């Protein structure tokens, strides 16, 4: 089994996080540009799982390498789970920025009172990671991170909705957390940590088979 792993994303923020979280594994992490790929995969799936698999398979087939992709989103209770799988495409304007999406989310929440005694609107980040092998096998893991949406942006780290996603146990937004802390507790970190036993097994580590409770093999 080759030890090269293609990180199947063109999102620089995701790429940095994934590299940091997997840095201690004996892997050669390959970026799409390094593999000569300029691939954009349309996220047409109706779930995080479907979108992650679409991306992982497309990059694996194009490169011939094991490929790791994720799909993630923000789920806000007051909005029935929106923006969900449309988190990156939520704002109804062309070429929307992260700031546009945050502003649109807060506009949507304006008519929903913050629940009594809570620091904001209950929400969670959710991430599904897909690992596609050149043989066509696909492995899936998932991670979530609960928190609250607040009205004032805080912090300079991270990307996406991080500046308005508040974690009461740290009294900080995701964008205020030092990267090393975020890379321990974020939804993406938890999904990738769940994938570590699989990656170790594929690398021939003596850790044994990954726990079935953490992995779905399709």
pLDDT one-digit tens code per residue, 113-169: 999 999 999 999 999 999 999 888 999 999 999 999 999 999 998 889 999 999 999
Instruction: Confirm whether residue 159 is marked as ligand binding.
Output: yes
Phi–psi pair at 64, nearest 5 degrees: 75, 15
* 71 in active site: yes
For residue 103, count CB atoms less than 10 angstroms from its CB and return exposed for 0-12, middle for 13-18, buried for 19 or more. middle
**3 state DSSP class of 131:** strand
Instruction: Confirm whether residue 148 is marked as ligand binding.
Output: no
Active-site residue (options: 24, 70, 71, 116): 71
Query: How far is the C-alpha of 39 from the C-alpha of 55, rounded, in Å?
Result: 10
Query: How far is the C-alpha of 52 from the C-alpha of 70, rounded, in Å?
Result: 5
**Entry pTM:** 0.85
Q: Is the C-alpha dihedral spanning 45, 49, 52, 58 positive or negative? A: negative
Segment 39-84, tens digit of pLDDT: 888 888 899 999 999 999 999 999 999 999 999 999 999 999 999 9
- Domains along the chain with CATH numbers: 4-217 (3.90.950.10)
Instruction: Confirm whether residue 55 is marked as ligand binding.
Output: no
Phi–psi pair at 90, nearest 5 degrees: -75, -45
Instruction: Confirm whether residue 13 is marked as ligand binding.
Output: yes
Token pair recorded at residue 162: 């991080």
């Amino acid at each position: 089994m080759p030890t090269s792993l293609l990180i199947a994303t063109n999102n620089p923020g995701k790429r940095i996080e994934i590299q940091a979280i997997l840095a201690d594994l004996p892997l050669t992490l390959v970026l799409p540009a390094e593999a000569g790929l300029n691939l954009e995969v349309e996220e047409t799936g109706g779930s995080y799982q479907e979108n992650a698999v679409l991306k992982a398979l497309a990059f694996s087939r194009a490169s011939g390498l094991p490929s790791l992709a994720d799909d993630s989103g923000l789920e806000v209770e007051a909005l029935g789970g929106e923006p969900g799988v449309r988190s990156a495409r939520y704002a109804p304007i062309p070429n929307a920025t992260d700031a546009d999406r945050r502003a649109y989310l807060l506009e949507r929440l304006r008519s929903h009172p913050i629940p009594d005694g809570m620091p904001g609107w209950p929400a969670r980040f959710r991430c599904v990671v897909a690992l596609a092998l050149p043989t066509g096998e696909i492995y899936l893991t998932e991670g979530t991170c609960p928190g609250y949406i607040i009205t004032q942006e805080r912090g300079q780290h991270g990307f996406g909705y991080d500046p308005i996603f508040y974690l009461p146990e740290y009294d900080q937004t995701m964008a205020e957390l030092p990267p090393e802390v975020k890379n321990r507790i974020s939804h993406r970190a938890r999904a990738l940590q769940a994938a570590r036993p699989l990656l170790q097994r594929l690398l021939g580590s003596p850790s044994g088979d990954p726990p079935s409770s953490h992995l779905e093999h399709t």
